[in-house]
Amino acid sequence: MISPFLRKSALALPLAALALAVSSAYAAPTQGPAGLAFYNAPAPTGAHGDLISYRTTTVNLGANAPATKAWNVLYQSTDSVGAANVVTGTVIVPTAAWAGTGERPVISYAVGTHGLAQPCAPSLQLAGGTDYETANIAAALQAGYAVLVTDYAGYTTGSTPTYLAGASQGNAVLDIVRAASQVPSVGISANAKTAIWGYSQGGQSASWAAERKASYVPNLNLVAVAAGGVPADFIATAKYLDGSNGASFLFGGVIGLAEQYPTQIPLNTLANANGQAAIARGKSQCVFESLFDLMNHSLSEYTVGNQSLDQLIAVPAINATLKAQNLGATKVPVPLYQYHGQADEFIPIEQHVDLKRKYCAKFSNVTFDVYPSEHIVTQFQAAPTVLTWLGDRFNGKSTLGTCLTLNAEPKSTANPNKGNFVVSLKSWPLVANVGLKTLGQTVNLPTTSTFTADTDITAQRLTGTLSVPNFSQSIKILGIGSQVGMKITPVGDATGTVTLDNQGQLHVHGVAKADITITSLSGLPIGSCKTVTPVEFPINFDGPVSSLGNGNLTFSGTTTFPQLKGCGVSAILSAVMSGPGQTYSFTVKPPAPRKF
């Protein structure tokens, strides 16, 4: 007969062994060290989505961002070949209580290209206030959502980002959701409604996350995905970029994929001396520095024997690796919002339209919007629409999508992508007013006013023009109200300089000149009472490049109105409307998108 003591001991042994196995497979997350020591990655030992370590941090999202709490996280994920890896990221939660129903929703925000050097990591740039995507992140936080920002694989110390390795990026976007819920006192539930939002590289990552959701994280409460500017067909996008003003994105992709697939893309044996030097530079640069360094260079300049992109693509192992990054093989299980700039000079819109067709053919619920502008502008112009669309999904509203549409297929209107990097503003709506100092009154320009310009970022040159229809406005002159007819006529082009620095800050400095003519008072023609010399409106702006797209590109200041001559009441009009100290504000906004 077995004694009760021995029976208990025999039972205790396998339980103890099981407990030991569990504890060795999953260790509780620890508080990580300060500084770059946090980025020293341990060997992965648990499951994907496990939080390894965390620490509190601060994020600098700009003056209008809401108050937040933030943490850096180090968590386990999976690369594109199925191996465990360790990824860093940032968890940001508004300090204000969630005002909606249920638990606070979560957005896993997939960033676009940041660069291959460790200081380019979004987590480091968010802390330093230099991340160019802060406007979108702040807008999501302003809506009350928790925002999770993965760095993607490769920003831990001693690593190289596996840039554009689709599955790895998608996995990192998904795994940060469970990892974030394990941060002590974070206030994020692992069961909270979750959406994914990304653009460019982030759009690729968001789409990969959408395709992998069902098999990789089946229990994630994913309700929607928004993916813009997506490089869905790697080879088509690579051919578009080679030798173009966006060549740096192709070159970064070669480095990133070679890091993930070293056997299939043996970079060290493919690169010539010029290529080896460019690789070293690329690994030390962030996105805007790399953009200008490699602009209009072809891949053949950097390969042994000057092999062209077409020759490299013909190598079976390389071809298979590039095609493995393509999207569209799997149905997206939740509503998907796709968007693209019709004038995108970096990512061809046609291949993104093809991705829509593939998803629709698999009965995915897809909405596709076409924005009128280029790549950078569209990223930020789309943000309000994206957040409204995601908000509807969080609130349980259904969407029919646009798979069934009679609208014409969009065709690219991009500027030539060989040569200078030119951002064109074609008849963008202009919201403008002029403050008359002596009268203490404001003149609002017609809502149909527009601004057209070519901003040549390469040549650092701005050329543009104002278009203001003739209009009338009620103004009190000598205490008597009168409808004053006005005409604002541009004199020559608006000209100036425009630069984009390595921190993603846009700098515009120039002047627009215009004649101002008073044509009527109280509906009665008075001749042509015109300023004797053109009014000069300085157009100065220093701020984030996101302002190009989010409607915050504003030129404001003070100017002097010259004397008015040419009519019988010119002396009176000059007395009340001329002189220094007149104020003005011109805000340029991108045109509205359309459905496809």
pLDDT of residue 433: 95
pTM of the model: 0.91
pLDDT of residue 379: 96
| Percent above pLDDT 90 for the chain | 87
- HSE (CB half, 13 Å, CA atoms) of 382? 33
Mean pLDDT of the chain: 93
Closest among 59, 229, 79 to 156, alpha carbons compared: 79
What fold characterizes domain 46-232+329-394?
Answer: Rossmann fold (3.40.50)
Is residue 10's pLDDT more than 60?
Answer: no
pLDDT in tens, 168-182: 999 999 999 999 999
What is the number of other CB atoms lying within 10 angstroms of the CB of residue 577? 25
Q: What is the CA radius of gyration of the chain?
A: 28
pLDDT in tens, 60-74: 999 889 999 999 999
Q: Where are the alpha helices (DSSP H) in 218-303?
A: 234-241, 247-260, 267-270, 273-282, 287-293
pLDDT of residue 23: 36
Strand partners, 356: none
Two tokens, residue 211: 């395709």
pLDDT in tens, 342-351: 999 999 999 9
Q: What confidence tier does 289 reach under pLDDT thresholds 50, 70, 90?
A: very high
Closest among 583, 586, 585, 572 to 482, alpha carbons compared: 572
Is residue 7's pLDDT more than 60?
Answer: no
pLDDT of residue 476: 85
Closest among 552, 517, 513 to 536, alpha carbons compared: 513
Do 58 and 70 contact (CB within 8 A), yes or no? Answer: yes
Do 87 and 125 contact (CB within 8 A), yes or no? Answer: no
What is the number of other CB atoms lying within 10 angstroms of the CB of residue 524? 9
pLDDT in tens, 451-502: 999 999 999 999 999 999 999 999 888 777 888 999 999 999 999 999 999 8
The number of residues in the chain equals: 596
Assign domain 235-323 one CATH number from 3.40.50.1100, 1.10.260.130, 2.60.120.920, 3.40.1280.10.
Answer: 1.10.260.130
pLDDT of residue 478: 75
